[in-house]
Each structure stands twice: as structure tokens, then as C-alpha cells.
Amino acid sequence: MRILITGGGGFLGNAVANALVARGDTAVAFDTHFSLDGAPESDHHIRLGGDITDMAALAQVVRKHRPEVVIHCAAIVGVLSSIGSPINIVRINVEGSINVFEAMRLGDIKRCIHISSEEAYGEFRSHRMDESHPLEPVLPYGICKATVEQLGRTYRDLHGLEVINLRTSWVYGPGLPRDRIPRNMVLAALEGRALHIAHGAQSAIDHTYVDDWVTAVLAALDHAEHRYDVYNVSSGHSCTVKELAEIVTELVPGAEISVGPGMYRHGNQIELVRKGALDISRADAELGWKPRFDIRSGLAAYIKALREAKTQN
């Protein structure tokens, strides 16, 4: 298959592009990042600089490279960035997604795997929740994700597109580029730095290891007939920030990580809504997908990968 991956230069887009190439598919990665990098290309992993807000550029890529499906990862990511510049996030995450759907319509591409987020749910109403939970996003990032999901349904009804939404929890693992609790803890532990997270002991979060996220995308991509257009993707279990600190301390003896009371705050400012675990039984029943990593084995794999990368450098 030839697959267009928007945001294919990012943490998740690059991980899935590598997995597709490894199994013999051709990944056409499209990302603003590449125009700066001038990244090298191979026959099966094409890297193109471009912006999803540029409809002409997207249409040209589709015309030239003839992808059969799209994995839509390009976005401004994160709750804090969305608060800092709501106009920008709407322009890129919503307007850019409409361009992606339009380019698909014009290029006669039917299926899109859209990487949505658990942020589309807003505050969790129970400790574990499935895909029927109401969408009540509270911040621009989640609002944009819910909007794009709904726009995908409009394109389904009007133009026959099939937009499959993967509501993904927080992903961690090698390559994670930004401030995230598991990354901050693991890096501090490996570098022998003490880390105190001022708030968060009570915030329960479901984290997904990057390899599991990749297999979920491939399962959704390969599934012949979807009965649903939305699946939760996560480990299926939550752990509190305090528990996370305890696991990292066990895995890296001597680590000094402490967590203050209450709910976690993004950037120490914006209190996290109440979260919990995502029910992933639909992805299991429909796609035959199960995560391989729980939080302990995922953190152990992450630590191992970082140690190996350090010895190679």
C-alpha cells in the first residue's frame, strides 16, 4: 500500500511510517518539519515538506504520489499550546483537516485514520470509560479533535469518505519530543537529577506505549470493514502520577522523584480534568488489537531504549 502520513515527521507519524516501511508498504510523509530539514528520501519512505493548511500543496502530493489511504497525524499538539494560540490551533487542526479530507475527495481516497485524542471526552465521568462517553471537551485542543471527528462524519455522509478516529491516550516512549510526565521522570532518573512535580499525586492517567499505538494504527488501517468509526487506544489502565513516580524509582534505583498533592497541572498552571482508564474492549473485539505493554513494562522498555541510544552515541 501507499500511505500518506500527514505529520509524518513527528513523534507518532514517524513511528508509524517506519513500521509501514518495515513491512513493505510505501510511506509518503508530509510535514512542515521536513521543509526545514531537507530530510533524505528513499523509494519506500518519501519525505515531503509541506503544510496541511496549503490545499494546493496537499492536492499536488495526492496527484503525484497516489496514496491509497491517509494516516492523519499533523496537528499542533498539546493542551498548553492550544491555550496559547487558539486561532492557530483551529487553523491548523481544523482547517488543515478539512484540506486533508478535500484532498482525499479530489484524489478519490476513501479511508483516513485520524489520530484523535481522549481530550475529546473532557472530564471523565467514571474511572474507565468507553467510546459512548459524551464528548464534552473543555479546551481548544480537545474541542478541535471532537470537531474533526464530526467533520469526518460530514465527509462520510456527503462524499463517501471513511474517517476512522483513534481516541488515543497520552503516548510515551523513545522519540517523545515534549514535556510529558513519563519522559520527565525517566530523563531525571537516568541523569541522576532530583525531580519534584508540584501537583498530581491524585491524577490518574492512562498512558500508551508508542509500539502499542503503532500496532493499533496498523490494525485499524488493515481492517477490511469497520462497524464503528471510533476506537479508544490506550493501555486500558490508569495509574496516578504518584504511582508512576514509584515505578520509575523501582526501575532506576536511586531516582529521586516526588509528587505534590492534588491534580496535575499542565505547565504548572492549568489543572488537568479528571481522567482515568479508557475501555479498549472495542478495539480488541473488532480489530483484534491488544496492547503488549502495561505501564511498568512500557517504562522499562523506554528506559532500555534510552540507555541503548546513549551507549551508541
Ligand X SMILES: NC(=O)c1ccc[n+]([C@@H]2O[C@H](COP(=O)([O-])OP(=O)(O)OC[C@H]3O[C@@H](n4cnc5c(N)ncnc54)[C@H](O)[C@@H]3O)[C@@H](O)[C@H]2O)c1
Residues that bind ligand X (CB under 6 A): 6-7, 9-13, 31-33, 51-53, 73-77, 92, 96, 115, 117, 168, 170-171, 177
Q: For residues 194 and 143, what is the distance between their CA atoms, to the nearest angstrom?
A: 36
- Name the minimum Å distance from CB 6 to ligand X: 6
Q: Which is nearer to ligand X, 37 or 250 (CB)?
A: 37
Q: For residues 30 and 33, what is the distance between their CA atoms, to the nearest angstrom?
A: 9
Strands 265-266 and 270-271, bridge-based pairing: antiparallel
Q: Which is nearer to ligand X, 27 or 52 (CB)?
A: 52
Q: Which is nearer to ligand X, 104 or 115 (CB)?
A: 115
- Name the minimum Å distance from CB 122 to ligand X: 14
Q: Which residue is nearest to ligand X (CB)?
A: 10
Q: Which is nearer to ligand X, 58 or 109 (CB)?
A: 58
Q: Which is nearer to ligand X, 32 or 184 (CB)?
A: 32
- Name the minimum Å distance from CB 66 to ligand X: 19
- Name the minimum Å distance from CB 79 to ligand X: 10
- Name the minimum Å distance from CB 225 to ligand X: 25
CB atoms within 10 A of CB 5: 30
Q: Which is nearer to ligand X, 26 or 165 (CB)?
A: 165
Q: For residues 30 and 67, what is the distance between their CA atoms, to the nearest angstrom?
A: 12
- Name the minimum Å distance from CB 254 to ligand X: 28
- Name the minimum Å distance from CB 32 to ligand X: 4
Helices 181-191 and 241-251, packing angle to 10 deg: 30
Q: Which is nearer to ligand X, 31 or 212 (CB)?
A: 31
